[in-house]
Amino acid sequence: MNEELTVIIPVYNEEESLPAFFEEFDRLISTSEMPLKGLLVNDGSRDTSLAMIKEKCANSPAYDYISFDRNYGLSAAIKAGFDHCTTSLVGYIDADLQTHPSDFQLYLPYFPEYDMVNGIRSKRQDSIVKKLSSKFANAYRRFMINDGITDTCCPLKIMKTEYARKMPFFTGMHRFMPALVQLQGGQVKQVPITHYPRHAGTSKYHLLNRLIGPFFDTLAFRWMRSRYIRYRVAERNR
C-alpha cells in the first residue's frame, strides 16, 4: 500500500477534549494499515490547547502542528492543513470525539477508486435544536445545489490531496467539500459512521450560525460554481 494519510485536526479551545482525543488517535496510528500522521491546527485558542499541542508534538513524531496568530475559523484551519499536507491523502476530524478516529479505517478500502470518502452520521447525538438546524441546512443545500450528499458537514473525511489543493476556498467553504470535489470531476463515496455525544467542552456553534451562515454560503457556492473554470488539454506540442 503506497498511500499515506495526513489527518487535519482543527483545535479551538479544546483543552478538555484533547487528552482523550490523543489517546484515541494514538490507537488509530498504531493499528492502521496505512501510514498516517496528525496535523494539529491551533485556530487561535485562548485556553491551554496550544501548550498541550506543543507537548504532544514534542513527544510524538506522528504529530505536527500549525498555530494561527488569532482565531480565523474552521475554513481557514482546514485550508492551512491542505496547504501544508505532503502526503497523497488528506483527512479531517474534529477534536471533540463526536466522530471517532477509528472510523477512518472504514474509509481506507475505497482508495484509490474514489477521490473522496465522506461520512454520514448515524443516530446523531446532539440537542434537538442542533439536529433540526442541521437537517434544515442540509435539505436547503441539497435543494439549491443538488450534489446528492447526505451529510456534507460530517467532520470525518478523507480525500486525495490533489483535489483538496485545487479547492477554491473561502469562509464557509468547509461546508461544501464534497461538492467541491465533484466540481473537479471527482467521485465521492458516502459511508455511514457512528456519532457520539460531545466528550467534553462546549460547541462553538449555535442556532444562528448554523442557519444564517449556510444560507449565504450556499448562495456563494452557486455563484462560484456557475463561473468555475475547468478544462482538459487535448494536445500540446511539447
Candidates 59, 56, 57, 47; CA nearest to 16 is: 47
| Least confident among 34-48, 137-151, 157-171, 206-220 | 206-220
The grid coordinates listed for 114 are 474514489
Reply yes or no on whether the pLDDT at 67 is more than 90.
Answer: yes
Reply yes or no on whether the pLDDT at 1 is more than 50.
Answer: no
Residue with cell 460531545: 198
Residue 169: domain span: 5-226
127's CB contacts (< 8 A; 6+ apart) are none
In a domain, 151, yes or no: yes
Reply yes or no on whether the pLDDT at 103 is more than 90.
Answer: yes
| Least confident among 44-48, 106-110, 195-199, 208-212 | 208-212
pTM above 0.75, yes or no: yes
CATH of the domain at 85: 3.90.550.10
What integer is the mean pLDDT of 199-211? 58
Reply yes or no on whether the pLDDT at 204 is more than 70.
Answer: no
What is the C-alpha separation between 24 and 207, in angstroms, rounded?
A: 30
**Sorting pLDDT into bands at 50, 70 and 90, what band is 227?**
confident
Half-sphere CA count of 128, side-chain side, radius 13 A: 0
In a domain, 76, yes or no: yes
Do the bridges between strand 63-67 and strand 156-160 make them parallel or antiparallel, or are there none, so unpaired?
unpaired
Q: How many domains does the chain have?
A: 1
Reply yes or no on whether the pLDDT at 142 is more than 90.
Answer: no
pLDDT at residue 114, rounded to an integer: 98
What integer is the mean pLDDT of 59-87? 96
